[in-house]
Amino acid sequence: MEYGVVLKWWLLYQALLVVGLPFAARLLPDAPDRGASLAVPTAVVLVTVPTLWVGQLAFGLWVVVGVAAAVVAASAWLARGGIDVPRRPLAEVAAVFTAAFLFLIVIRAAADGVHPHGGEKFLDFGLLQSLLRAEQLPPQDFWFAGERVVYYYGGHLMASILALLSGTSGRFAYDPALAGFYAMAVTAVYGLASTITASRFAEADPVEGSTALGVAAVVFVVLLVTLGVPWYYLAVPAAFAAAVFAGSTRVRAGMLAAIVYGFASNLVTPVRLLAGTYDVVREAVVAAGVKSNRAPTITPAEFDMWHASRVVETGINEFPLFAYLNGDLHAHMMSVAVLFLAVGIGLAYARTPESARRRRLALLFGAFPVAAATILTVNTWSFPAVAGVAMLSVALVDADPRTLLPGSLARRFEQSSAAVRELQRVLLGVAVAVAVAVLGLVVAAPFVQSVLLAGASNQHPAAFPVPTKLGAFLLVHGLFLVAFGAYLVSRVARDGSDWAAAALAAVAAVLLAATFDPVIAGVRVGVVGVLLAGPILAGAWLLRRRDAVGFEGVLVVAGAGLVVIIEYVYVADAASYERYNTIFKVYAQVWALWSVPAGVALAALAARKPDVSRLRSVGGTALAVLLVVSASIYGGFAVASHVDSADDATLDAFEHVNDERPDEGAAVEWLNDKSGQPHIVSAPGTTPYTWQNPASSLTGIPTVAGWAHAGNYHSDSAYRTRVSDVGVVYETSEAVSRAIILRKHDVQYVWVGPVERERYDVRVTDEEPGISVAFTNENVTVYEVTHSELVEQ
Instruction: Please tell me the least confidently modeled range out of 262-266, 507-511, 542-546, 572-576.
Output: 572-576
Q: Residue 226: CA atoms inside 13 Å, Cβ hemisphere, count?
A: 17
| Helices 368-378 and 383-396, axial angle in degrees (round to 10) | 150
pLDDT at residue 609 above 70? no
In 55-115, alpha helices (H)? 61-78, 87-109
pLDDT at position 756 is: 95
Instruction: Flag whether pLDDT at 204 surpasses 70.
Output: no
**Least confident window among 188-197, 226-235, 375-384, 732-741:** 226-235
Which of 43 and 469 is assigned the larger pLDDT? 43
pTM, whole model, 2 decimals?
Answer: 0.96
Please, is 323 exposed, middle or buried when counting C-beta atoms within 10 Å of its C-beta (0-12, 13-18, 19+)? buried
Which residues lie closer than 8 Å to 704 by C-beta, 6 or more apart? 145, 679, 680, 681, 682, 684, 722, 725, 726, 729, 745, 747
Contacts of residue 87, Cβ cutoff 8 Å, sequence gap at least 6: none
Q: pLDDT tens-digit profile of 759-792? A: 999 999 888 999 999 999 999 999 999 999 888 8
pLDDT band with cut points at 50, 70 and 90 for residue 726: very high
pLDDT above 60: residue 574? yes
- Each residue's pLDDT tens digit, 438-466: 999 999 999 999 998 876 666 788 888 88
Distance CA 720, CA 708 (A): 9
The pLDDT value given to residue 220: 87
Question: What phi, psi does 363 have (nearest 5°)?
Answer: -65, -45
Pairing label, strands 747-752, 781-785: antiparallel
> Which residues are bridge partners to 571 per DSSP?
461
Pairing of strands 523-524, 747-752: unpaired
pLDDT at 589 over 90: yes
The whole-chain average pLDDT of the chain stands at 92
Nearest CA-CA partner of 548 in 482, 501, 507, 604: 604
CB distance 241 to 625 below 8 Å: yes
Q: What percent of the chain has pLDDT over 90?
A: 70
Rounded CA gap, 232 and 194, in Å? 29
**Domain 661-789 CATH assignment equals 3.40.50:** yes
Amino acid at residue number 494: R
Report the pLDDT value the prediction gives residue 768, as an integer from 0 to 100: 92
- Between 375 and 410, the higher pLDDT residue: 375
Closest CA to 321 of 4, 642, 23: 642
Task: Output the 3-class SS for 649-694.
Answer: CCCCCCHHHHHHCHHHHHHHHHHHCCCCCCEEECCCECCCCCCCCH
Alpha helices in 201-266 (DSSP H): 209-227, 231-245, 249-262
Nearest to 75 by CA among 31, 34, 16, 35: 16
State the helix-helix crossing angle for 170-200 and 551-565, rounded to 10 degrees. Answer: 120
Q: What is the mean pLDDT of residues 528-554?
A: 95
pLDDT value, residue 279: 86
Using CA atoms, how far residue 299 sits from 155, 274, 652, 709, in Å, is 38, 9, 35, 37
Q: Which of 25, 293, 331, 10 is nearest to 153 (CA)?
A: 331
> From the centroid of its chain, how far is CA 291?
23
pLDDT surpassing 70 at residue 612: no
Which residues make beta-bridge pairs with 630? none
Q: What are the residue boundaries of the structural domains of the chain, listed by start? A: 661-789
Contact 220, 249 (CB under 8 A): no
Prior bond of 138 cis (ω within 30°): yes
In whole angstroms, give the CA distance from residue 387 to residue 643.
40
Where in 415-478 does DSSP place strands (E)? 459-463
Q: Is the pLDDT of residue 608 over 70?
A: no
Give the separation between CA 375 and CA 41, rounded to whole angstroms: 12
Output the pLDDT for position 619: 81
Cβ proximity of 389 and 346 under 8 Å? yes
pLDDT digits (tens, 9 = 90+) for 324-366: 999 999 999 999 999 999 999 999 999 999 999 999 999 999 9
Contact of 170 with 698, CB cutoff 8 Å:
no
> Regarding predicted confidence, which is higher, 670 or 240?
670
Q: Give pLDDT tens digits for 632-690.
A: 999 999 999 888 877 788 999 999 999 999 999 999 999 999 999 999 999 999 888 99
